[in-house]
Amino acid sequence: MHDYIIVGQGIAGTLVAHFLLQQGKKVLVIDHQHHQAASMVAAGLINPITGRNFVKSWRIDDLIPFAIQTYQQLEQQLKVSILETKNVAMLFNSVKTENDWLVRSSNPDVVDYVAKDFYVDFYKDFLDDVQNGVEFKQAGRVRLKELILAYQALLQKEGNYLEEQFDYQALEIEPNQVQYKGVVAQRIIFAEGFQATQNPYFNYLPFAPAKGDILLVNIPNYPAKDKLVKHGIFIIHLKEDLYWVGSTYNRDYKTIDPTPKAKKSLEERLSRVLKCPFDLVDHITAVRPTVRDRRPFIGQHPHFKALYLFNGMGAKGSYLSPLFAAQFVAHLEQGKDLDQEVDIARYYSYFEEK
Ligand SMILES: Cc1cc2nc3c(=O)[nH]c(=O)nc-3n(C[C@H](O)[C@H](O)[C@H](O)COP(=O)(O)OP(=O)(O)OC[C@H]3O[C@@H](n4cnc5c(N)ncnc54)[C@H](O)[C@@H]3O)c2cc1C
């Protein structure tokens, strides 16, 4: 008898499995390794101040320290490098943006995140249209793909992993347990990312997935490897001369595959700002599990009490998932209350209407 089946091993399912296994639970993780899983394509940025209005990310003061602690612990356990601590260099291309920042810069919300050593002339050497900028600290990048693959290897080694597409028709639900192809578990947790829209038990929720296109490019001799540069688009160092460039954000997509239009748009945006030459290596896409009210979807099914959801990490899975996975496991195992802002109970009326 298993304690839990988890469907989906993106960053969400990985961290729920991690905290459950830490508590000695018997867990089976099922994943079909979808190549457009958001976690395998995302840059994994932890970015405390976002958007044109320089707004502090929701709950960021709690989320970042917990994320850092969790990833450092996983680095030790898995013996892989997961966390890169780097400042975000946000560059402005107009006097208006510079003025907007000046208005915000003394706000107590953002002051603690401003790095002192920003030097704009450094960026003007290799980027066009740089008016000014600011650097934010307590930022970084989580190597999500490396973490997920290492965790998958651990699950496989311990016999806790099944590679297949979960078949919802094969799930037998009883009041206090579920059965899936002969595996009996007390509870099942769905963490399928954007593919939860295909889940017959939870697709009543208002998911609003957003497709993202990114480019992988080679930029020889790029001088800002140690910064997460945002100049309209992000330019993020991955390894050697390879960089992640993106991304688009599209809720109105017709296909989840790469399109020539998005590729052209990203190439043009990069050419506009980058003075040095680059070579295109790849163009890839994935879909973010974004939701209408921009808060995670976590909790118990309104009718089937053995069914749970851990999803809705949106565009911020690398720093939302650690704290909320830990809180979710404390809810499941120690009966702690779920945060009302993330609890899917806020949408139970949608289920009743369906
Ligand atoms: C272009 C792009 C850039 C991004 N950049 C950032 C960033 O810089 N920082 C940040 O924090 N976030 C970023 N995000 C968002 C982040 O990627 C997501 O929040 C996060 O990865 C969601 O993780 P998840 O585990 O919920 O979903 P996913 O990563 O999609 O994982 C879901 C898993 O479930 C499996 N699955 C689904 N259905 C089934 C089934 N029926 N049977 C078996 N397995 C199944 C899939 O194979 C997959 O492995 C970005 C996303 C995109 C697309």
Alpha-carbon gap, residue 198 to 330, rounded angstroms? 28
Cα distances (Å, whole numbers) of residue 97 to 78, 122, 204, 310, 324: 43, 19, 40, 37, 34
CB atoms within 10 A of CB 218: 14
Query: Which residues lie across from 4 on neighbouring strands?
Result: 27, 187
Please work out whether the CB of residue 9 comes within 6 Å of at least one atom of ligand 1. yes
Instruction: Decide: 269 and 290 in contact? Cβ < 8 Å.
Output: no
Predicted local distance difference test score (pLDDT) of residue 36: 87
Ligand 1 mean position, distance from CA 37 (Å): 5
What is the pLDDT averaged over residues 53-69?
96
Cα 288 to ligand 1 centroid, rounded to whole Å: 6
Say if CB 9 and CB 37 are below 8 A apart.
no
Per-residue model confidence (pLDDT) at position 305: 97
Going from the Cα of 12 to the center of ligand 1, the distance in angstroms, rounded, reads: 8
Ligand 1 atom at minimum distance from 34 CA: 47
Task: Tell me the average pLDDT across 151-173.
Answer: 98
Task: Decide: 37 in ligand 1 pocket, CB within 6 A.
Answer: yes
Percent of the chain with pLDDT over 90: 97
**Which domains does the chain show, CATH number per domain?**
2-41+145-208+292-353 (3.50.50.60), 87-137+210-288 (3.30.9.10)
Judged against a pLDDT cut of 90, whether residue 154 lies above it is answered with yes
pLDDT of residue 342: 98
Those residues whose C-beta lies under 8 Å from the C-beta of residue 183, and which sit 6 or more positions away, are 2, 5, 28
Task: Report, as an integer, the average pLDDT of 282-299.
Answer: 97
| β-pair partners for 30 | 7, 162
pLDDT value at 70 more than 90: yes
Residue of 7, 9, 18, 34 to test ligand 1 pocket, by largest number of atoms within 8 Å of CB: 34
- Atom 10 in ligand 1: residue holding the nearest Cα: 316
User: Would you state the pLDDT for residue 51?
Assistant: 86
Residue pointed to by tokens 């399109």: 259
Asked if ipTM goes beyond 0.90, one says: yes
Instruction: Give the pLDDT band of residue 352 (cuts 50, 70, 90).
Output: confident
pLDDT in tens, 105-123: 999 999 999 998 899 999 9
Q: Rounded to the nearest whole angstrom, what is the distance from the C-alpha of residue 305 to the centroid of ligand 1?
A: 25
Read off the pLDDT of residues 177-209 as tens digits, 9 standing for 90 and up.
999 999 999 999 999 999 999 999 999 999 999
pLDDT at 35 over 90: no
